[in-house]
A and B are shown apart, each in its own frame.
Chain A
């Protein structure tokens, strides 16, 4: 209340101040007049000493004039406004039920909008936490005809970045960097390591972002050389968690992949997770440039993250034009760069990423909710103003002008909106906190969502606009008074009937239309997520656990050692009680991510784009059995296939369809690696100069993500391919019962082999699938709850209109019944009115949903944005709900006793 009192005293003070000013001015004006008057008196012969009193007499009562003038000016708008608001508060207090319903409806609408807007604010509007952040850009490579497009670009190669930096004129600085999962342990000696993301960054990375160490120093230039790179920077977060903010941390050692790095800097916690290509890094080491990194063969090795700072005054478009010219020149110089372009994008724009269409969709949905809420309130107010017609008429009769009445009614809606906005703001705050807690890993961007002044302004604006939206029409309609009619005791308000009923029907039609759009959108999303998650991965999905290991090159430099380790690990895990199968592999559904170029006899190529390629994986002999992938023809890998026997491969059905359409592939040889083409050095890719013999065809499984059809797959044994037998491997374990139950036993088996190798990211395949659909699931849940909210509001709306219709036409119904209409006839009369509104609304809504398809299209899977079943089912559903909402007040018609109803009037 103190705020209110303060406001009131301010208003009063302003009013008084202005009044004093005005009084002085009037006095001065009258004084001037009197002076002229007395001059005239003098001129007409009155003696000077009598002239002044004579003038005063002629003028009359000056005090009276001053009072009259003061009266004219006294009702300044601020006073009047305060008065209106006070009156509005009083009248709302008198009808607490109405006020509560209105405020809750508004809180729902405004709260939902505030919540979604704060996500948009955090992901698209809020400035980045870096100095002169609008100069920061990311640089991507765009390759024609490959997976990466402008929508899904790839990173450039280190050589690209070097050449871009040397030849361009648009940038202050440019850097290529990367993030790797590594085994990290703290302390000098080998301890229990864990897998962590380690950023590989030159000092320029921090310089470009404008970040200084809290303590310590940035990496020096020669620390980027291999061998001198054993220094690390840690985040302030890590400093607190592991070293208790101890300033003597500098010089201490951490072990990364079994090698000791000394800490040289503590960096502030300002780099958001989405800036780094993998997940959030807490440790950074220099980017060790091995000498062969600058060899021409590395030109095609793309996929690094690249960050740059523009020179002041250079626009992104200018930088893009600059780099495009350079990329074209590089493509002309180096055949491997043929068809490779470049894209410069604002760092701030990369923040929202794939969430952009989701946010737009949700913003659209909450706008609809707010509109529906407004429509309901407009309806409610129309009814309320009708009921208050006598009150309004009395006030008009007592001299209140129409503008005064409208202002009064608008003050009421404004007050409602502001209170509703405040409540909604609170709800949004609570909801966001809950969401942030629910959804930490999948959408790291959402962690930064919160309330700031922009969100506050938004809420305030929305509240104001809302109050006009739902208040204006009812206020004008409510004040279109016919005084005589309205004041007549018991008079049936003639006007109230027709025109306001028509407006209310129109409002309900709008509401139905918007509600249908929400229902269509939500059911499309729900159906696509069901399809997406219910998808056949091509394996036995249940009871399958995944864990990742990394064998650091220091101790596992020899492929033979790696093979032995992996084989031993698999054997040990298979012996664990409760485990029915286990395989060490690099490939499993739903995503593989390792594409390999191949040479296939009968497929001669001359251009890079035409080189056959397939999803590639290295596995052990237990791969098919553990995953449950059916073998269609030929034989599975077997024990005799080992490092010394001839290399063999399994191909998928899709592989055969693509590359051996007409011939039998079994027994054919293919070469793993790119063909000899000008510009492609053989050693450039991770390749293998051994040819493999195809021994079997396996069924397709999902290897390019849930939403995509299986791509050609080729699988070989790691034991037979030392060059592609890397340190990163996954183990898949089939269990008899609950998969996580064997997790600790698997860990201890791994520890028994090497206590320095951690088991990371342990998850079941079910969990993996669920996580990969996290973003969609999140959108779907939100949209579905919005649709439910919209539906509830629309039902309330149609119910209200039909009830008031029944109340108003009670006598008419009674007459009809007295004249012989059956209950059914009369009930149909009521239902017909409600259903007519619903049908028209649904028809409009269908058009709206059709027009809005571009918002949903990007989020759907396996279902057309104009899916006929949804477009037919949603209106039927809506009509059914509307019919029920109409039938309840309609049933009241049945209780009408004609004799009684007619006597009432």
Chain B
């Protein structure tokens, strides 16, 4: 049974969105809207999070056990939101993703280093 059939319309490298979400949740529980806003703000609006990929990503990560979700009353308004929070497994995953990302970034950087004699 194929498990990763979710369409990848993030415009980001695969796995990047996951890493950003995990990173966001490191600061505490948040609901979907907050996560999207937080990613946009912290990347200086460079990364636009498409909602069409945010929610499937959240559910995929919930299923994998990296995050858990719970309906809770928001502090500032009289409405329930589905808050996501990080699990220990999610924290481990973040570490893994981060080191993979570093490797990738280093590899890309090496590739793009100006060739001698250029």
Contacts and interface: CB of A to CB of B under 8 A. Distances in A.
Interface in A68-97: 68-69, 71-73, 75, 80, 83
Contacts of B3: 75, 401, 404
Nearest to B31: A32
B102 interface: no
A65 to B, nearest CB: 5
Interface residues of A, number: 28
A404 B33 contact: no
Interface in B5-23: 5-7
Contact of A65 (B1, B2, B52, B82): B52
A399 B2 contact: yes
A30 interface: yes
Contact of B55 (A26, A80, A404): A26
Contacts of B55: 26, 29-30, 65, 68-69
Given A61-B52, A68-B56, A73-B59, A37 B33 contact: yes
B60 interface: yes
Nearest to B55: A65
A536 B43 CA distance: 100
Contacts of B63: 72-73
A493 to B, nearest CB: 25
A32, A75, A399, most chain B CB atoms within 10 A: A32
A60 B82 CA distance: 20
Contacts of B59: 26, 69, 72-73
A31 to B, nearest CB: 10
Given A32-B31, A32-B82, A33-B33, A69 B52 contact: no
B33 A68 contact: no
A488 interface: no
B41 to A, nearest CB: 13
B60 A72 contact: yes
B32 A29 contact: yes
Contact of A32 (B5, B60, B81): B81
Interface in A124-169: none
B33 A32 contact: yes
Contact of A72 (B1, B6, B81, B82): B6
B31 A72 contact: no
B51 interface: yes
Interface in A33-74: 33, 35-37, 58-61, 64-65, 68-69, 71-73
Interface string B39-57: 0000000000011100110
B116 interface: no
Interface of A is mostly: helix
Best-buried of A26, A32, A72 by chain B (most CB within 10 Å): A72
B79 interface: yes
A32 B50 CA distance: 16
Contacts, number: 62
Nearest to A36: B33
Given A32-B79, A37-B33, A80-B1, A60 B56 contact: no
A404 B1 contact: yes
Contacts of A60: 50-52
Given A37-B33, A73-B59, A73-B63, A68 B2 contact: no
A71 B6 contact: yes
A83 B1 contact: yes
B52 A400 contact: no
Contact of B51 (A33, A399, A400): A33
Interface string A356-399: 00000000000000000000000000000000000000000001
B65 to A, nearest CB: 13
A59 B51 contact: yes
A400 B1 contact: yes
B52 A64 contact: yes
Interface string A1-42: 000000000000000000000000110111011011100000
A587 B79 CA distance: 98
Nearest to A29: B82
Nearest to A407: B1
Contact of A75 (B1, B31, B33): B1
A482 to B, nearest CB: 21
A65 B6 contact: no
A71 B5 contact: yes
B32 A33 contact: yes
Contacts of A25: 82
Interface string A616-652: 0000000000000000000000000000000000000
Nearest to A69: B59
Contacts of B82: 25, 28-29, 32
Contacts of A73: 59, 63
A465 to B, nearest CB: 26
A701 B19 CA distance: 91
Nearest to B54: A65
Contacts of B5: 71
18 contacts: A25-B82, A32-B31, A32-B32, A32-B80, A32-B82, A35-B79, A59-B51, A59-B52, A60-B51, A68-B7, A68-B52, A68-B56, A71-B5, A72-B6, A72-B60, A73-B59, A75-B1, A80-B1
Which 10 residue pairs are nearest across A and B when measured between Cβ atoms? A68-B56, A399-B2, A60-B52, A36-B33, A69-B59, A29-B82, A72-B59, A59-B51, A33-B33, A65-B55
Interface of B: 1-3, 5-7, 31-33, 50-52, 55-56, 59-60, 63, 79-82
Given A61-B52, A65-B56, A75-B1, 11 more contacts: A28-B82, A29-B82, A32-B31, A33-B32, A36-B33, A59-B52, A60-B51, A68-B52, A68-B55, A69-B59, A71-B5
